[in-house]
């Protein structure tokens, strides 16, 4: 194999991994730690495999990615698999770093193979190996993080090397594990630009009294703040000790074991360096993939909502959050009745600062949420239902690679709407389903999104060489859910519910692929049950491998939205005055449907009429306001410009940012306006949002 000149410094690592993949003895890795380049946010582009200059076969780093079962991970778990991770961190808000170590308990399936880990922009200070006692702790998982702090004796320095760096995928760390060792310890520090961490100043929080740190690891950002096998197909238990300044509280997506006290706390405080710290302990006794490890540190307060549910938030918003999410316990009970016992003990949520780029993140035991859900009327709690449903679809049963994302998200959207139906009634569930399908159809036909990208319109996607963040669209969510609805219609709800329950129990704490799903449908549905009269089995090939929606895809309907759409057309045609619109009891979903149903001929003048009648520019509901400001950007409705700018600066949720900025860029004036606002807002956005918007606005 010919290796380009620029790749020769990584030859040792390339041969190690290639040999391991072939099952041949691997040459020893020399202890020559490499320094990675400064982090960048440049997104990798899909290479053309027919061009020798960009063929992944000529690039050792990309060859390693492509050679394994997960195209986004350098790790080789089939040779050496991480079974447990012990984490020990000191949180430094001034330096914006985590410093400490990761102790990895490994299963050496091939005793000759090196341990290959994923990393991105980590400063590795030392790597060591040792034989350790892996006796489970009281909650069923070893406490290696705690043991590592208690004892630094017995560790033997290991040979290691950091390989070729890629801005999106990071770099592999190859470790030659000492003979007989079953644990590896890496001393390391994160960098301020770690994409999986966001450090916020006090002014960026609700209370404006203390700085804030939170993680967001999905899809492959865990490697930017801990060395790991960063693949959804690799699951491990973990524990952690987190040292923070005394005024702060640390929470993680795990069993919260409280604070360390006595002599051990003193040792940790000495490591932190100033004697004014607190040390928190956590353990996750169930095996989870790396992207579900989550951390937050800030001025936090906790409020109970139910026997198994609670809310964490800034003290200034915790009461409002507890009131908004008061139905969490009822949702949890309904979810269990549908698809089996909840496997994670507690279901708590953390309301993050506005910079959080998503609606929610399904971290086990502690869902992370955007504050844009705090509408005051519980009208946006479908996000809670969604993240709770992930406790089964995504966390309990996880997609094996990000090309199978629909197995996480499509199942979850279906499950979410079943919870909504049980708690809030069939009409609300139907309304949200109609809105969801409409958004999907618009996205599929929009050339600025994926109208000319059929490869991203499939459920099973080939994402080799593609940053998996690009897979997050309406396709895995809404198209995936519609496939499950089609199966429910074909076999009936009782049969399909039993099918889903068995899917979760059969694959619990495992990772699954699309072929696994196809086989399961063949055995548990097609092989055991006839379709209902007048129905036919959905053609899985058309759904999974075909672009767009197959013919005969389910068409959800909701009569209230038909009435809303009729009023939108009449208003657009000048046949109905704004003040005569019957919006008194509308939910945010009614308003979204109304605004999206307005004819394209509606301009700034008619927007002014609507604004005068309903004060939409002043709306406190983020869903309504986001849609309204997108319209204002598209139609150049100037009275909304001040609120648009403040909204884009205050809120970091990508769902709202991207369409508003995209609408602004459609005119030369709007382009200038968008870049002027972005220059002010960008420093407060999460790296995930910045990457998306940098591409949209072409801002270096």
Looking at the annotation, which residues are catalytic? 387, 477
CA angle 675, 680, 684 (to 5 degrees): 120
User: CA 18, CA 658: separation in Å to the nearest integer?
Assistant: 41
Query: What are the beta bridge partners of residue 238?
Result: 85, 284
| Tokens 């495999």, residue located | 49
The secondary structure of residue 326, as a DSSP letter, is T
User: CA 319, CA 290: separation in Å to the nearest integer?
Assistant: 32
User: CA 324, CA 376: separation in Å to the nearest integer?
Assistant: 6
- CA dist list (Å): 129 to 156, 175, 606: 5, 9, 70
DSSP output for 627-646: HHHHHHHHHT-GGGHHHHHH
Q: For residues 53-89, b (16+ Cβ closer than 10 Å) or e, as one string?
A: eeebebbbbbbbbebbbbbbbbbbbebbbbbbbbbbb
User: CA 140, CA 146: separation in Å to the nearest integer?
Assistant: 15
Long-range (24+ apart) CB contacts under 8 A made by 123-126 are 123/35, 123/36, 123/188, 123/189, 123/190, 123/191, 124/33, 124/160, 124/162, 124/173, 124/186, 124/187, 124/188, 124/227, 125/187, 125/188, 125/189, 126/157, 126/186, 126/187
User: CA 149, CA 87: separation in Å to the nearest integer?
Assistant: 10
| Tokens 């993939």, residue located | 289
3-state secondary structure of 513: coil
Smallest Cα–Cα separation from 583: which of 613, 608, 546?
613
* 444 CB burial (10 A radius; 0-12, 13-18, 19+): buried
- CA dist list (Å): 616 to 87, 146, 490, 653, 683: 47, 53, 42, 19, 28
Q: How many other β-carbons are positioned within 10 Å of the β-carbon of residue 134?
A: 15
* 307 CB burial (10 A radius; 0-12, 13-18, 19+): exposed
Residues 6+ apart with CB under 8 A from 176: 28, 29, 114, 158, 159, 160
Smallest Cα–Cα separation from 97: which of 29, 219, 196?
196
Please provide the size of the chain in residues.
Answer: 700
- CA dist list (Å): 304 to 252, 323, 343: 17, 10, 20
Contact 384, 345 (CB under 8 A): no
Backbone φ and ψ of 369, nearest 5°: -130, 150
């Amino acid at each position: 194999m010919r290796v380009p000149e620029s790749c020769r410094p990584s030859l040792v690592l390339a041969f190690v991994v290639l040999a391991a993949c072939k099952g041949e003895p691997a040459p020893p890795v020399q202890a020559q730690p490499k320094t990675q380049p400064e982090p960048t946010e440049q997104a990798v582009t899909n290479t053309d495999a027919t061009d020798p200059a960009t063929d992944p076969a000529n690039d050792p780093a990309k060859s390693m990615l492509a050679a394994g079962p997960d195209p986004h991970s350098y790790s080789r778990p089939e040779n050496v698999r991480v079974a447990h991770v012990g984490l020990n961190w000191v949180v430094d808000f001034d330096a914006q770093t985590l410093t400490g170590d990761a102790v990895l308990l490994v299963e050496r399936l091939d005793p000759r193979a090196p341990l290959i880990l994923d990393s991105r922009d980590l400063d590795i200070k030392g790597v060591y190996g040792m034989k350790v006692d892996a006796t489970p702790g009281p909650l069923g998982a070893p406490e290696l993080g705690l043991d590592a702090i208690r004892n630094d004796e017995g560790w033997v320095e290991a040979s290691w090397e950091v390989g070729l760096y890629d801005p999106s995928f990071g770099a592999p760390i190859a470790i030659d594990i000492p003979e007989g060792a079953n644990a590896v310890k890496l001393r390391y520090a994160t960098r301020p630009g770690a994409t999986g961490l966001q450090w916020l100043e006090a002014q960026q929080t609700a209370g404006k009294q203390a700085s804030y740190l939170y993680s967001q690891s999905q899809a492959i950002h865990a490697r930017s703040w801990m060395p790991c096998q960063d693949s959804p197909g690799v699951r491990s238990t973990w524990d952690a000790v987190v040292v923070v300044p005394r005024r702060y509280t640390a929470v993680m997506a795990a069993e919260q074991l409280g604070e360390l006290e006595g002599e051990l706390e003193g040792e940790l405080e000495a490591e932190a360096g100033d004697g004014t710290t607190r040390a928190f302990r956590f353990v996750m006794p169930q095996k989870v993939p790396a992207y579900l490890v989550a951390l937050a540190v800030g001025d936090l307060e906790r409020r109970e909502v139910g026997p198994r549910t609670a809310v964490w938030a800034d003290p200034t918003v915790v009461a409002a959050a507890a009131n908004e999410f008061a139905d969490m316990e009822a949702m949890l009970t309904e979810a269990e009745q549908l698809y089996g016992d909840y496997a994670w003990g507690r279901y708590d949520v953390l309301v993050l600062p506005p910079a959080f780029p998503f609606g929610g993140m399904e971290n086990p035991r502690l869902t992370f949420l955007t504050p844009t859900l705090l509408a005051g009327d519980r009208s946006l709690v479908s996000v809670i239902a969604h993240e709770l449903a992930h406790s089964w679809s995504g966390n309990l049963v996880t997609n094996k690679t990000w090309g199978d994302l629909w197995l996480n998200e499509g199942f979850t959207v279906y499950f979410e709407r079943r919870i909504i139906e049980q708690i809030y009634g069939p009409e609300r569930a139907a309304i949200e389903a109609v809105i969801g399908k409409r958004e999907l159809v618009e996205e599929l036909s929009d050339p600025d999104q994926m109208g000319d990208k059929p490869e991203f319109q499939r459920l099973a996607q080939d994402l080799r060489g593609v940053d998996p963040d690009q897979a997050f669209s309406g396709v895995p969510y809404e198209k995936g859910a519609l496939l499950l609805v089609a199966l429910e219609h074909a076999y009936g709800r009782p049969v399909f519910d039993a099918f889903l329950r068995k899917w979760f129990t059969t694959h619990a704490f495992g990772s699954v692929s699309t072929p696994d799903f196809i086989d399961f449908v063949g055995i548990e549905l097609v092989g055991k049950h006839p379709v209902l009269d007048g129905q036919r089995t959905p053609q899985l090939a058309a759904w999974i491998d075909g672009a767009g929606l197959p013919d005969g895809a389910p068409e959800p309907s909701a009569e209230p939205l038909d009435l809303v759409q009729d009023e939108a057309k009449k208003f657009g045609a000048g046949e109905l005055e704004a003040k005569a619109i019957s919006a008194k009891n509308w939910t945010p979903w009614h308003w979204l449907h109304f605004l999206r149903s307005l004819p394209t001929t509606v301009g700034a003048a008619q927007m002014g009429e609507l604004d005068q009648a309903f004060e939409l520019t002043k709306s406190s509901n983020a869903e309504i306001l986001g849609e309204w400001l997108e319209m204002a950007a598209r139609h150049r409705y100037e009275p909304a410009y001040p609120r648009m700018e403040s909204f884009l600066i205050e809120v970091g949720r990508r769902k709202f940012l991207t369409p508003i900025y995209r609408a602004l860029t459609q005119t030369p004036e709007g382009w200038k306006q968008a870049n002027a606002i972005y220059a002010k807002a960008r420093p407060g956005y999460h790296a995930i949002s910045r990457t998306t918007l940098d591409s949209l606005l072409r801002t270096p």
